[in-house]
């Protein structure tokens, strides 16, 4: 039996009013609740900008993508700006394949 590496979510404040959640590890059905809780916590603090740094993710499944989309939706509902500030080529490709690049503003 292989253990799934836990997702790690580090909360940073790159500038006042901005929460940057840096996610590393695997964001899947076994770790999505933990990541969702960190997103909810950041949004509950009333930040003006929510940023996700996904460059440290080694794997993401549909549950992980739901965390990203729930973060986007939660930010939109609160009038909070949302942006992805870093991601891997793998994740960029995945987002493009499911056509979420039309919704999410991806970094260059």
* pLDDT tens digit at each of 108 positions of the chain: 456 568 999 999 999 999 999 999 999 999 999 999 999 999 999 999 999 999 999 999 999 999 999 999 999 999 999 999 999 999 999 999 999 999 998 998
For residues 52 and 44, the answer to whether their CB atoms sit within 8 Å is: no
CA gap 81, 71 in Å, rounded = 11
Question: What is the reported pLDDT for 108?
Answer: 84
Query: What torsion do the CA atoms of 30, 24, 3, 95 make, to the nearest 10 degrees?
Result: 60
Structural domains in the chain? Answer: 8-102 (3.30.750.24)
pLDDT at 89: 95
The rounded distance, in Å, linking the Cα atoms of 95 and 13 is 26
- Separation of alpha carbons 20 and 84, rounded Å: 9
| pTM, entire model | 0.91
DSSP 7-24: PEEEEE-SSTTEEEEEEE
pLDDT score at 3: 61
Looking at residue 1, its pLDDT comes to 41
The pLDDT value given to residue 5: 64
């Amino acid at each position: 039996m292989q253990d799934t590496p836990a997702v790690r979510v580090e909360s940073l404040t790159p500038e006042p009013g901005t929460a940057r959640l840096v996610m590393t590890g695997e964001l899947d059905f076994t770790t999505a609740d933990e990541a969702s809780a960190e997103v909810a916590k950041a949004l509950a603090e009333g930040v003006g900008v929510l940023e996700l740094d996904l460059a440290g993710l080694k794997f993401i499944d549909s549950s992980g993508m739901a965390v990203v989309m729930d973060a986007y939706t939660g930010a939109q509902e609160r009038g909070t700006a949302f942006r992805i500030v870093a991601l891997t080529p793998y994740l960029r490709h995945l987002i493009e394949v499911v056509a979420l690049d039309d919704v999410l503003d991806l970094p260059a």
